[in-house]
Structure 1
Amino acid sequence: MTYADGRMCPKSLMNNCSITFFRDLHVKVTAINAVKVQLTCRTTCSLTNLKPTFQWYRKRDYVASATDQKHTVYGKSDDDGYYCVVQDQKDLLSPSVCVQGESCWRVNYMKHRICALIGSSVNISCNYSYPPGYVLVDSDTNTYWYTTNLRSLTKDPNYEHRVKFSGQTKNHHTLTINNLTERDSSEYIFRFLTNKLQGKISGLPGVKIHVTGLTLKMIPAANTTEGQRVTLVCSSSCPLTDNPTYRWYQNSVTQKQSQQNYVVLDPVSSQDAGEYSCAVKGHEELRSPEETLTVTQQFSQSSAVKNAAIGITVVCLSLVFLACLWTLRKKTQDSRTDTTQSGQTHSDPMYDNISAVSRTLVTAPHGEPTEPQDEPHYSSVHFHRSTNSNSQPPQRQEDVQYAAVNFNVSPDASKTFSRPAL
């Protein structure tokens, strides 16, 4: 957890910070006289603009509150440990101190809050002490870790094959939990017993572990346009312990790493589009789920005008092409119509002028006509030769004109044909 300004970080996430408050609380012991000791709660942060209230505890029992950071203890023979807490921030407490010497009933943890990733491992360490005259009973039943359900981890099947204890160093003990799951989020407490009935202590408050996964967020949105600003945030439900280094991946390829849990793409381009994920250095296999960044190309006003002009030009050219095509087709149809009519005109023999007048012939009894009979007369007869459809275009044919054509009804009658008029 990072501490700096004693305030909450802005939601913009542009500044490198997290939830901030006091750190490194510790108690200074000052002997006033033979029976009086003054305890002072100190912090490395400046308290100029802050007026917190400090609370004092003896072992785990509340003793007093004060705004001047000081507390007085009477009786140097007190063998209980004291520690201070900033009011409303009970997870941020000082290590326990002895009023006299270094041997009193106390358990001090290296960290009181740990934020760890799902699937990772965590170490919880503590130092402890007890007054002279007691002997530690070193066995699994007398020195152990347990959770808030008061069940020893050695007897809990949920932790089987996942926990390890290390207490080779005097007055020091470490609990290791492997392959963390969300169910492991709890408060862990160290307890030890001595050879005397009342010689025991539980280190309350214990260490709170929060197990979380990584989530990649895109601010303001995962869909954006070129030229905009996009912030990628690798977030978790708690500030990860030990200020880790973050790694960023685009399409499963490492792009960059940073101490901040965010990166800024400004301005964003189409090359930035893709699948993004994040991880913590040392736990690269524990990546966040991938999120898709979609970047749309942004057209300028000049480009829009240019594209509109191109569109209008294309439409006009299309209309001109269609008009030319229609005109050509019309001409082709007219030409075919004229050719058809011409072929029909010259295909069969035609008679331009045929006039005939019928007269009745009267036959005399002796077989001679009694009077001359009028015969049909034809002023002209025109014969046109038929043209073959497969031959060349028909040429104009010469007309043969006859001055007169006489047909006699009687079979014996003479037929008179005039010679062609030249």
Structure 2
Amino acid sequence: MCSSGEKQCSIVFPTEIFLHQTSVDQHHVKINCSSSSSSSSSSCSLTDPQASIVLFRNRKPEQKKTFPLTSTETFTCAVKDLQDIHSADVCLDHSSCWTVNCFPKRICALKGSSLNISCEYSHPQHQQLIMKRWFKINRNINQKGEEIIEKKNKVKFYDSPNKHNLRFEKLSKSDSGEYVFEIGENSNDLKESTFPEVTLIVTDLRVEIRPSSEVTEGQKVTLTCSTSCPLTPNSNFHWYLNHQPLKGENKHLVIDAVTSQDAGNYSCVVKTKEIFMSSVKTLTVKSINTTTQIEIVGGVSPKVIVLVLVSVLVSSLICLTVFLWIRKKRTSTQSSSSEAVKNLYTLNTDHLYEEIPAEATDNRLHHSQVNHENTFVYSTIQAHQEQEHVPYAITKVHLGLPQHVHQDGVAHLVQHHLLRELGAQSAETQ
């Protein structure tokens, strides 16, 4: 048992403490303290100083163990530094003692439930009990706060001989706190138990999903019907999926390999004398294929990303190689065309030699002019002596062309007019 309903603890304390009386002689008894049980999972035994049980006499630690039967003092056993785990108050002389014992000392109750806090008391026979009242402790100032009074449909008191009950209806979280019951002859001389506080923790039900409310097919999922304090051991739990009951009556629902059919809205129910249901918690189950795509996009699978990047890089290199090869081929083709034009003619400085039959009887120079779209072509023909009966002439061509005329067009134009001129010369010779 922990010292607080909201805190974790490394020591598991006993849940019950008992005070035992052993007769020493006719006038004395020996008092011993013990626990009904200590958890086997405890990290320390009751001999450990952190979990030792201490005897108290009139609210003060007591080392003695033997006392007279006529003692009017009150004795209690409690865990050291954790006095809310203690035994009932005991008075050796029952006829002359004031005692108050309320049980249980620590109560965990569900929101909306009803609760009884029961107290037993005794008082000297010669004194009359007049006052009985409850207080709620204000822990901020560690003092008694407001007095608890009866309220319709909320707080009620019930009395029987030497017993008193405080009943809450429809508990809310604001009812959580520590309560004190006092008795006495008058308001100025009230008695309470050695360790008077009754600790009440009001909790609701909630569904917790581990490892997460969004999982992937095949994962193990544990759903827990959780509270902020431990409920009584006889609490019965039931589970619902989409408002349909599931098998099992445990506060834990375990799914070893979750599937898409397990997705939906879960809620848990606790059945005591009443039925209490938690709010709904949604479990989302993703398929493996969807998860794989998400992992690739999110960078969870670096190997796949490396393969994709390598593929993209190789594709880019192939495209670049093809582009450079096409460009080189196109440049080579253009160079070949330019070389052909240069072989056909040379502007201003080159000479074009053709075999032209010379006129036998006339050694005069012939000059012809060709006008084609504002482009002038000049040719000069000079006569030469016959050599081995093979007449020829030297023709010098000067092209005065604009720069925008394409070389292929020039070559075609020159070839056309030269052929035409040579044909005319041949006709005259004949």
Please give the TM-score of this superposition, normalised by the length of structure 1: 0.58
Contact 2:96–2:123 (8 Å) recurs in 1: yes
> Match for 2:174 among 159, 183, 186?
183
Task: Give the SS at the match of 1:189.
Answer: strand
Equivalent position SS for 1:77: coil
Aligned residue for 1:271, secondary structure, equals helix
The secondary structure found in structure 2 opposite 1:151 is strand
Q: Which residue of 1 aligns with 2:52?
A: 53
2:297 maps to what in 1? none
Instruction: Give the match for residue 307 of structure 1.
Output: none
1:129 aligns with 2:122: yes
Alpha-carbon distance in structure 2 between the residues aligned to 1:173 and 1:25: 22
Q: Deviations over 1:133-179 (max 9, x none)?
A: 11222xxxx11222113432117xxx554111110x21111110111
- After superposition, the Cα gap between the structure-2 partners of 1:277 and 1:82, relative to the gap in structure 1 and judged at 3 Å, is same
Q: 1:16 aligns to what?
A: none
Is 1:108 the counterpart of 2:74? The answer is no
Of 29, 41, 55, 2:33 maps to 41
Number of residues paired by the alignment?
Answer: 271
Residues 94 and 41 of structure 1: CA distance in aligned 2, closer, same or farther (over 3 Å): same
In the alignment, what sits opposite 2:70?
Answer: 77
Q: Following superposition of structure 1 onto structure 2, how do residues 166-181 of structure 1 map, counting pairs within 5 Å?
A: 166-167=158-159, 169-181=160-172
Equivalent position amino acid for 1:269 in 2? T
Q: Does 1:154 align with 2:149?
A: yes
Q: C-alpha distance in 1, partners of 2:255/2:92?
A: 56
Q: Which AA in structure 1 matches 2:34?
A: R
Describe the shift of the 1:111–1:246 C-alpha distance in structure 2 as closer, same or farther (beyond 3 A).
Answer: same
Instruction: Report the secondary structure of 2:174's partner residue.
Output: helix
TM-score, length-normalised on structure 2?
0.57
More deviation in 281-290 or 185-194? 281-290
What letter is aligned with 1:108? N
SS in 2 for 1:152: strand
Aligned residue in 1 for 2:218: 227
1:349-382 deviation digits (Å, cap 9, x = unpaired): xxxxxxxxxxxxxxxxxxxxxxxxxxxxxxxxxx
Amino acid across the alignment from 2:212: A
* Residue 202 (str. 1) matches residue 192 (str. 2): yes
Offset at 1:81?
Answer: 2.3
Q: Supply the AA of the counterpart residue of 2:135.
A: Y
Aligned to 1:217: 208
Q: Secondary structure at the match of 2:85?
A: strand
CA 1:197–1:118: 2 relative to 1, 3 Å: closer
Change (3 A) 1:227 1:191: same
Work out the CA distance in 2 between the residues paired with 1:45 and 1:79: 30
For residues 161 and 248 of structure 2, the distance between their equivalents in structure 1, rounded to whole angstroms, comes to 40
Letter in 1 for 2:271: K
Q: How much does 1:262 deviate?
A: 1.2
Counterpart in 2 of 1:289? Answer: 279
Q: For 1:239-254, list aligned pairs within 5 A.
A: 239-254=230-245
Residues 163 and 232 (structure 1), Cα distance of their counterparts in 2 relative to 1, 3 Å cut = same
CA contact (8 A) 1:216 1:277 kept: yes
Q: Which residue of 2 aligns with 1:193?
A: 184
Q: Which has the higher mean CA deviation after the structures are superposed, 245-254 or 275-284?
A: 275-284
User: Could you tell me which of 106, 110, 116 is aligned with 1:117?
Assistant: 110
User: 1:271 & 1:36 partners in 2: Cα distance?
Assistant: 72
Name whichever structure is richer in strand by fraction.
2
Distance change >3 Å, CA 47–CA 30, structure 1 → 2 = farther
Counting aligned pairs with the same residue, the percent is: 35
Give the unaligned 5+ runs of structure 2.
3-7, 138-143, 291-430
Task: In structure 2, give the amino acid aligned to 1:277.
Answer: S
Does the 8 Å contact 1:214/1:235 carry over to 2?
yes
Q: Indicate the residue corresponding to 2:14 in structure 1.
A: 22
Distance apart, 1:103 and its partner CA:
6.0
Task: Name 1:63's counterpart in structure 2.
Answer: 61
Q: Deviations over 1:325-366 (max 9, x none)?
A: xxxxxxxxxxxxxxxxxxxxxxxxxxxxxxxxxxxxxxxxxx
Residue identity in the other structure for 2:82 = Q
Partner secondary structure for residue 133 of structure 2 = strand
**2:77 touches 2:87 (CA, 8 Å); kept in 1?**
yes
**Cα separation, partners in 2 of 1:287 and 1:55, compared to 1, 3 Å:** same
Distance of 1:118 and 1:9 partners within structure 2: 25
> What amino acid is the match of 2:260?
S
Query: Is 1:280 aligned to residue 270 of structure 2?
Result: yes
Q: Cα 1:119–1:254, aligned 2, differ >3 Å: closer, same or farther?
A: same
**Alignment-mate amino acid for residue 79 of structure 2:** V
SS at match of 1:166: strand
Matches within 5 A, 1:325-364: none
- In the aligned structure 2, how far is the partner of 1:47 from the partner of 1:35? 37
Paired with 2:188 and 2:273, the residues of 1 have a C-alpha distance of 46
What is the CA distance between 1:114 and its match in structure 2?
Answer: 0.5
- Which residue matches 1:89? 82
**What is the CA-CA distance between 1:298 and the residue it aligns to?**
3.2
Kindly indicate whether the alpha-carbon contact (under 8 Å) linking 2:206 and 2:226 is maintained by their aligned counterparts in 1: yes
Rounded Cα–Cα distance in structure 1 between residues aligned with 2:170 and 2:36:
35
Letter in 2 for 1:153: I
1:252-401 → structure 2 map (5 Å cutoff): 252-258=243-249, 260-282=250-272, 286-298=276-288
SS at match of 1:57: strand
Are the equivalent residues in 2 in contact too, given 1:29–1:99 (CA < 8 A)? no
Unpaired runs of 5+ residues, structure 1, are 3-7, 11-18, 66-70, 301-422
Shift in Å at residue 78 of structure 1? 1.8
- TM-fit CA distance, 1:273: 0.6
